[in-house]
């Protein structure tokens, strides 16, 4: 028995209609299942508490001598700490005056390392804690200053904290990882 062109076209159309019908049926079943799951399943609340990173400088200062200079991690996550010492001179009214002031020599405490003008504590500090050693035990400011401008010296302690992990983020932000500085300095 021979099939003509009409019969071959008719069979191809039937196959195409059958495949399309099966696809529509599968989509309807999948859509119905998703609708049922959405109606029957309780929503999940996704909560995210971001870390809070902050620090505060602590020091005793009697107007000429700074003692026990340290930094407390006031955040809620382990953090690295770095400090910048900024010095300048003021007159009796507390106004900035010209000239320069240099930071008197001092020995940073254990695990504190100077790098590019900052003092880094090379270990992460837990929330609510301070480094094990002070950055500065004692430093005496020049008052009055010995040059023609006179005035008295001010040293501001500016501290920063950064989340200690991931270390790649610390390096991206500060250009250095404090724990790596420890191995370079022998601490």
Which pLDDT does position 137 carry in this prediction? 97
Q: Would you list the domain boundaries of the chain?
A: 1-47, 55-185
Question: Residue 147's pLDDT band (boundaries 50, 70, 90)?
Answer: low
What contacts 39, CB < 8 A, 6 or more positions away?
none
CA 145 to chain centre: 39
Q: How far is residue 110's CA from residue 114's CA, in Å, rounded to a whole number?
A: 12
Question: Residue 7's pLDDT band (boundaries 50, 70, 90)?
Answer: low
Q: How far is residue 72's CA from residue 136's CA, in Å, rounded to a whole number?
A: 14
- Tell me: the pLDDT tens digits for 27-41? 888 888 888 777 776
**What b-and-e string marks burial along 107-123, b requiring 16 or more CB atoms within 10 Å of the CB?**
ebbebbbebeebbbbbb
Strand partners, 81: 121, 161
């Amino acid at each position: 028995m021979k099939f003509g062109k009409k019969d071959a076209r008719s069979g191809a159309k039937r196959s195409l209609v059958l495949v399309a019908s099966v696809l529509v049926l599968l989509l309807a079943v999948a859509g119905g299942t998703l609708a049922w799951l959405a109606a029957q399943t309780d929503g999940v609340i996704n909560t995210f508490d971001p870390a809070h990173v902050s620090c505060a400088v602590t020091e005793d200062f009697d107007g000429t001598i700074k003692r026990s200079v340290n930094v407390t991690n006031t955040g809620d996550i382990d953090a690295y700490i770095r400090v910048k010492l900024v010095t300048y001179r003021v007159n009796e009214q507390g106004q900035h005056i010209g000239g320069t002031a240099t930071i008197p020599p001092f020995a940073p405490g254990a695990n504190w390392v100077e790098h590019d003008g900052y003092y880094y504590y090379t270990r992460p500090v837990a929330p609510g804690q301070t480094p094990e050693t002070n950055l500065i035990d004692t430093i005496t400011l020049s008052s009055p200053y010995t040059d023609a401008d006179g005035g008295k010296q001010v040293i501001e302690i500016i501290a920063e904290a950064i989340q200690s992990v991931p270390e790649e983020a610390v390096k991206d932000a500060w250009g250095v990882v404090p724990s790596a500085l420890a191995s370079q300095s022998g601490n």
